[in-house]
Structure 1
């Protein structure tokens, strides 16, 4: 929020300085109105581009405090079991309790993160395995097709026919077959007629 205020205040200060110098004829720059995140981002970029030589400080990712790696702390003041004993040391107890809770929370979050990482790795492995199976299946199909084409080429070395020529030849063969069957039927009918005529004579 302070960044937004700084971005808005900057033009106001400059306009006041200009008015003090006696340049009241110049138009006042309107106060920037931030309606969306886009406007805010544009203001930030404009501010950065006003002085491009100025180094930009990019904050590093904050690392979580690792209670396991830190120097082990020893509990020297062990609380007594009788009522009221060590009641003046409650702040010490509260500090130790808070520390222990933080340690337990860190252990749980670490185990949860490890579980998520393990699931992610399993999923990646499964996807890789499925992809390999798919490619192996397609490879086998390609090789089978290639082998069939090679065998047909070796058995019929004179016939170098492409797929389109095969289709054309199949069509022409079917046409000739239909013509042949039609002519055969006509010939048979003619033969029957001839035999009947001979019998009658």
Structure 2
């Protein structure tokens, strides 16, 4: 795109490129920015939202559009009326936006509450199952201890040998319960 023919000053002359699409325009802007990456880029601030001037505290010489008003006064009246209508429209839009924001916040809060109820219900179910497993494991350990004690006193065969279930129970025993209260 850029011609490398040097100008009189020794700078390469660039060919004029007219962007035909928005993408080309964006690409050209990026290329121009990337030619000198050390240069700071000024990004404009967000434009302030338009707000009408507040109504005057005291209005002098109030005249309507008829009945004694001069021909020049009608334009003043029309301008004041238009400004007042714009101010009323602005206040209505602001109230509508505020109402929509409040409805949105209520909806977010409701969704958050419903999700918390759902996750709380599932959390209680998981903890209940975990407690059942722990109780079943303890009952099984007590049962194996009781049966081991009766077998060792009665038969005397497996006195020094541990069962494989006891080894796995010791390694699987939880040291704490997550989320327990």
TM-score normalised by length of structure 2: 0.64
Structure 2 segments unaligned to the other structure (5+ residues): 145-164, 170-181
Corresponding residue number in structure 2 for 1:109:
93
CA-CA distance at 1:137 after TM superposition: 1.0
Structure 1 segments unaligned to the other structure (5+ residues): 1-10, 163-201
Q: Higher helix share goes to which structure? A: 1
Residue 90 to residue 139, structure 1, CA distance change in 2 (3 Å): same
Corresponding residue number in structure 2 for 1:136:
120
TM-score normalised by length of structure 1: 0.58
Q: Measure the CA separation in 2 of the matches of 1:82 and 1:34.
A: 56
Count how many residue pairs are aligned between Structure 1 and Structure 2: 144
After superposition, give the CA deviation of every residue in 1:46-68 in whole Å (9 maximum; x if it has no partner): 22233344432222111123336
After superposition, give the CA deviation of every residue in 1:21-66 in whole Å (9 maximum; x if it has no partner): 399xx9x855425243221111111222333444322221111233
CA-CA distance at 1:145 after TM superposition: 0.3
Relative contact order: is structure 1 or structure 2 higher (C-alpha 8 Å, sep ≥ 6)?
A: 1
After superposition, give the CA deviation of every residue in 1:76-118 in whole Å (9 maximum; x if it has no partner): 1211585352332112112211210111111011011101111
- Alignment partner of 1:58 out of 29, 43, 48: 43
Q: Give the CA RMSD over aligned residues.
A: 3.3
